[in-house]
Amino acid sequence: MIKRLLTSIVAVLAVTSACMAQNADPELEFVLELKVKLGQAFGVGQTVHGNRFVIPITGGTFEGPRIKGEVLNGGADYQLQNMDKGRTDLEAIYCIRTDDGVSIHVRNTGIIAGNYFYCTPKFEAPLDSKYAWLNNAIYVCKPGGFMDGGIALKVWKVRDAFNFESTIQPIMPIPDAVRKPAARQGKIEEFKYTAHKNGKTIQKHARVYLPYGYKAKDKKTKYDVLYLMHGGGDKTTSFLTPPQDWLPLCNILDNLIAEGKMRPIIVVTPTFYDDDENIGANRMEDATAQTRNFHVELQNDLIPAVENAYNTYLEGKDSIAVTKSRDHRAYGGFSMGALSTWYQLAYGVNAVKHFLPLSGDIWYFDEKGQKQEPKAAAEWMNEQLAKTPFANDFEVYAYTGTDDVAGNPEKATIEALHKYAPLFRYATSDANLRFSMKQGGQHFYGHINEYLYYALPLIYKK
């Protein structure tokens, strides 16, 4: 008795753990439609089980997205008809054969009660065949129509519904130690360059983080470069060296590199404004246009200037050289900088391989200047990428927080990319789009820099 009790507890636990792994609701996936030819039915009469009725199955065809073939002669539908109770129980047993010669046994049981006519077929396919996938699933079936001397039956497989919410990766608190200055620190330099913007030549600057141990003279040691764009109203220092109550990115970088969690890299923090001290009218339209156009300056001015000044993989100054070294380049940004990241992906995927949109959605407008729904933005993004030779060669690492103004907009963007932009592979083993949300994460650098603690080791594996 006790032993049986223990056994059943173990069984319950096994069932519970299997259930916990899949908290999604079920949905149906169409598998095939059968067109079954029926022979002359005959009644056996009243038996101990009820009124037994036999309908021979004499042939037919079947077809679905992954399988097709013929229904074999020799099966039958064995029915128990209880007309007085308004109920018929049926059990059809027969075989089908695929067009490439695999025989599959079918046993389809169901009920007819008034208008309600549903069955649950079971398939027995040879384990060593390419149809073995039919074996381990629950199916439902209902008539798709009645022909003279036959019946059409549609079959669906019951599977877990895709639950977008459950695919969002959570973000754990980062270790306290990585917030503090590391023993071995990189250097932050000011970098001046000439940009060509709206037909004008302007002098601009960016900040450059050089990892600990970077030696200008050691030309053989080359570094990948990450460009990080600030948010609206911010400047070139906002990421790396914010006021003390924010989490400075230089501490994260120094500590990740010192702990061996990522390769040493160069980080460049430019501005999409004319310069730090000239943020213009700082109206939203200005910022939107400047984030949209920054890819031109990045490719023509900033990348050639900064990557020829430091030891990087860029060899040359033109766009061909920039494209050749794109595997070694990442672009990310916060808020309006995230917007510039999406625009960089849409307009400048030739120059960059890795993208880090941090708390920002895609702003896609129609001719009247109306911001479009995430679906239209996702379709536009897919079209943009499809035009390039890099449609299958980019990676997106998207992050935001639940208490961030960009949280829900970015979440809607990711879900739309998953649904409507086939070039993005999301929640698959070969994903090129990843999405994480920090519970309570807000719209400020302190939280954004936490996201980079997780993102950078993914891009810059040792």
Q: What is the DSSP secondary-structure string of 253-273?
A: HHHHHHTTSS---EEEE--SS
Q: Is 361 in the site for ligand FER (CB under 6 A)?
A: yes
Q: Which of 58, 335, 341, 344 binds ligand FER (CB under 6 A)?
A: 335
Q: Is 240 in the site for ligand FER (CB under 6 A)?
A: no
Candidates 122-130, 257-265, 275-283, 336-344: pick the segment binding ligand FER (CB under 6 A).
336-344
- Minimum CB separation of residue 285 from ligand FER in Å reads 12
For ligand FER, the closer of residues 72 and 338 by Cβ is: 338
Q: Are 363 and 381 in contact (CB under 8 A)?
A: no
Cβ burial of 254 (10 Å; 0-12, 13-18, 19+) is: buried
- Minimum CB separation of residue 333 from ligand FER in Å reads 9
For ligand FER, the closer of residues 157 and 443 by Cβ is: 443
- Minimum CB separation of residue 396 from ligand FER in Å reads 15
Q: How many CA atoms lie within 13 A of 284 on its CB side?
A: 4
Q: Which of 72, 104, 339, 448 binds ligand FER (CB under 6 A)?
A: 339
Give the separation between CA 100 and CA 244, rounded to whole angstroms: 70
Give the separation between CA 278 and CA 66, rounded to whole angstroms: 61
Question: With contacts defined by CB under 6 A, how many residues of the chain interact with ligand FER?
Answer: 12
SS3 label, residue 430:
coil
- Minimum CB separation of residue 360 from ligand FER in Å reads 3
Using CB under 6 A as the binding rule, the residues of this chain from 36 to 95 that contact ligand FER are none
Cα distances (Å, whole numbers) of residue 272 to 33, 310, 345: 57, 21, 16
Candidates 72-80, 275-283, 293-301, 335-343: pick the segment binding ligand FER (CB under 6 A).
335-343
SS3 label, residue 201:
strand
Buried b (16+ CB within 10 A) or exposed e, 50-77: ebbbebbbbbbebebeebebebbeebbb
Cβ burial of 212 (10 Å; 0-12, 13-18, 19+) is: middle
Q: CA torsion sign, 377 to 378 to 382 to 383?
A: negative
Q: Is 401 in the site for ligand FER (CB under 6 A)?
A: no
Q: Is 403 in the site for ligand FER (CB under 6 A)?
A: no
Q: What is the DSSP secondary-structure string of 316-335?
A: SSSHHHHHHTGGGEEEEEET
Q: Which two tokens stand for residue 78?
A: 């064995």
Q: Is 415 in the site for ligand FER (CB under 6 A)?
A: no
| Residue 270, φ and ψ in degrees, nearest 5 | -90, -165
Q: Is 405 in the site for ligand FER (CB under 6 A)?
A: yes
Q: Are 93 and 78 in contact (CB under 8 A)?
A: yes
- Minimum CB separation of residue 230 from ligand FER in Å reads 10
Buried b (16+ CB within 10 A) or exposed e, 403-435: ebebbebbbbbbbbbbbbbebbebbeeeebbbb
- Minimum CB separation of residue 291 from ligand FER in Å reads 8
- Minimum CB separation of residue 363 from ligand FER in Å reads 6
Shortest Cβ contact with ligand FER: which residue?
A: 232
- Minimum CB separation of residue 172 from ligand FER in Å reads 24
Candidates 111-119, 271-279, 401-409, 424-432: pick the segment binding ligand FER (CB under 6 A).
401-409
Chain centre distance of CA 96: 38
Q: Is 341 in the site for ligand FER (CB under 6 A)?
A: no
Candidates 47-55, 331-339, 385-393, 445-453: pick the segment binding ligand FER (CB under 6 A).
331-339
- Minimum CB separation of residue 298 from ligand FER in Å reads 18
Q: Which two tokens stand for residue 209?
A: 């983080």
Candidates 131-139, 297-305, 317-325, 330-338: pick the segment binding ligand FER (CB under 6 A).
330-338
Q: Is 406 in the site for ligand FER (CB under 6 A)?
A: yes
Q: Is 336 in the site for ligand FER (CB under 6 A)?
A: yes
For ligand FER, the closer of residues 451 and 460 by Cβ is: 451
Q: Is 409 in the site for ligand FER (CB under 6 A)?
A: yes
Q: Which of 253, 338, 385, 452 binds ligand FER (CB under 6 A)?
A: 338
Q: Are 102 and 82 in contact (CB under 8 A)?
A: no
Give the separation between CA 443 and CA 448, rounded to whole angstroms: 8
Q: Is 229 in the site for ligand FER (CB under 6 A)?
A: no
Instruction: Return residues touching ligand FER (CB under 6 A).
Output: 231-232, 335-336, 338-339, 360-361, 405-406, 409-410
